[in-house]
Amino acid sequence: MSEWWTYELSDFLMFSPRVYVRLLAAYNAAMWPAQVVTIALGLAAAALLLVPMRGRERLVPAALGVLWTLVAWAFLWERYATINWGALYAAPAFALQGVVLIAAGLSGRLSFPATRSAGAIAAAALLVAIVLGWPLLAPLFGRPFDAAEVFGLVPDPTALATLALLAAIGGGARIVLMIIPALWSLIAAATLFTLGSSAWVLVLAAAAAAVALSVSRRTPPAPRRW
User: What is the DSSP annotation of 22-48?
Assistant: HHHHHHHHHHTTHHHHHHHHHHHHHHH
Question: Are 209 and 124 within 8 A, CB to CB?
Answer: no
**202 assigned to some structural domain:** yes
For residue 51, tell me if it sits in a domain.
yes
Give the pLDDT of residue 146: 95
The pLDDT value recorded for residue 1 is 44
Is 185 domain-assigned?
yes
Three-state SS for 157-211 is HHHHHHHHHHCCCECCCHHHHHHHHHHHHHHHHHHHHHCCCCHHHHHHHHHHHHH
Residue at 226 is within a domain:
no
The per-residue pLDDT for range 136-169, each reduced to its tens digit, is 998 877 789 999 999 999 999 999 999 999 999 9
Q: What pLDDT score does 215 carry? A: 86
What three-state secondary structure class fits 153? coil
**Per-residue pLDDT at 109:** 83
Contact 163, 85 (CB under 8 A): no
**Distance (Å, whole) CA 78 – CA 47:** 32
In a domain, 64, yes or no: yes
On whether the CB atoms of residues 200 and 124 are closer than 8 A, the answer is no
pLDDT of residue 217: 66
Query: How far apart are the C-alpha atoms of 143 and 198, rounded to whole Å?
Result: 12
Distance separating the N- and C-terminal Cα atoms of the chain: 67
| Low pLDDT (below 70) residues in the chain | 1-14, 217-226
- pLDDT value at position 147? 95
Does residue 2 belong to any structural domain of this protein?
no
Domain count, the chain: 1
Predicted confidence at residue 7, as pLDDT, reads: 40
pLDDT of residue 177: 95
Q: Residue 1 domain-assigned?
A: no
Residue span of the structural domain in which 121 resides: 23-216
**Are 96 and 180 contacting, i.e. CB atoms less than 8 angstroms apart?**
yes
Residue 223 in domain? no
